[in-house]
Amino acid sequence: MNTKYTYPFLSLIALLIIFFFVNISLGSVSIPTQEIFKSLIGDINNASWQYIIQDYRLPKAFTAILVGSGLGISGLLMQTLFRNPLAGPFVLGISSGASLGVALVILGSGLFGGVFASLLISKWSIVIAASLGSFLVLLAVMIVSSRVRDTMAILIIGLMFGSITSAVVSVLSYFSSAEELQQYIFWGFGSLGNLSWNELFIFFLIYLAGILITISSIKGLNTLLLGENYAKSLGLKLKQSRLIIIIATSLLAGTITAFAGPIAFIGLAIPHMTRQVFHTSNHKILLPAVFLFGAIVMLICDSIAQLPTSDYTLPINAITSLVGAPVVIWLLTRKRKMFF
């Protein structure tokens, strides 16, 4: 029954491998293709090339894979949970929650002052603040949405949370120094290339936890396709499943935002792009498909952001919006209805 998706899956895996190599081949320093393959097996003479590939481009490519697949999957989770094709980590205010957490740490640290500030501003406190912020905002959206049944209202509530957080961020920026502000704005551009192997490892562990939780709720996610009352009548523990899905989403979207900054549109667009190829709602098929699609699109976006052969790197957040927004518009105009 699932054999009809064998070819799409094989071609996606092939594309993932191709774009992985394209991604590590491109950058501000041009390195011959042969040398890139050599450096992967550690057989290269040029030390700086070796460094660029092993300690910069490889972790960046892996980060891109984690970010793209993780955001895609958290978008899929949100769309199923909220029964709304427009849901996604960005629209529902999860990213703004993470932004608020980070803003509080970076911009608010001045208010605490002294030793405490330098303690607060470490990478890990940013990670924790972002995860916590996204979890709290998602929880708030969830609590409010359990009272309103209209899913459009939930989206508007998500947007409201977004504007509340951006207002708080403005207030904080008004009181903070230029350096702090710059640090926050740079975080807001999004970046895939900032992670060392150690940080990538921690990122991967949390990501893995989110993915494992997601896999464990595949059955519940499929049941939720019928709506909450039907899901309950089929024996689903509704509150528990909801909470688990929220935790998985905030682990994924929260850590990604923490490590790579707020990255727009991937979470919303990837599940829809996937459904254009895989005509199904079955999460057993959609989940791996979204993983592959997200990873591929992110690798492509990152390759574009590098502006190959130039010295500039564009903010990844801008590229994903530039790619993602037209895709969503195209999808909406092509089929008047968005099924999920």
Partner 1 sequence: MKNEQQHIVLETKNLSVGYTSKKRANVIADSINIALQKGQLIGLVGANGIGKSTLLRTLTTVQKPLQGDIFINSKSITDYTTVELAKQLSLVLTEQIASKNLSVFELVALGRQPYTNWVGNLSDNDLKIIEQALLHTNIIALRDKKCFELSDGQLQKVMIARALAQDTDLIILDEPTTHLDMYHKAYILKLLQKLAKETGKTILFSSHEIDLAIQLCDTIIVMSSTEVISGSPCQLIANGTFNTLFPEDLIAFDQSTGSFKVKK
Under the rule (CB under 8 A), what is the footprint of partner 1? 80, 83, 215-216, 218-219, 222-227, 229-230, 232-237, 275, 279-282, 284, 337, 339-340
d(CA 244, CA 80): 13
Helices (H), 121-196: 123-147, 151-174, 178-189
The conformation of residue 55, written as its DSSP 8-state character, comes to: I
Q: Please check whether residue 332 is in contact with residue 338, taking contact to mean a CB–CB distance below 8 angstroms.
A: yes
Q: Please check whether residue 330 is in contact with residue 47, taking contact to mean a CB–CB distance below 8 angstroms.
A: no
Taking the least distance from each CB to partner 1, the nearer of 46 and 281 is 281
| Angle formed at CA 260 by CA 240 and CA 68, multiple of 5 degrees | 65
Chain CA centroid to CA 101, Å: 16
Taking the least distance from each CB to partner 1, the nearer of 258 and 268 is 268
**What are the φ and ψ backbone dihedral angles of 190, each rounded to 5 degrees?**
80, 140
Question: Got the DSSP string for 222-288?
Answer: HHHTT-HHHHHHTT--HHHHHHHHHHHHHHHHHHHHHHH----SHHHHHHHHHHHHS----HHHHHH
d(CA 69, CA 78): 14
Q: What tokens were used for 7?
A: 């070819």
d(CA 289, CA 297): 12
d(CA 15, CA 19): 6
Chain CA centroid to CA 269, Å: 11
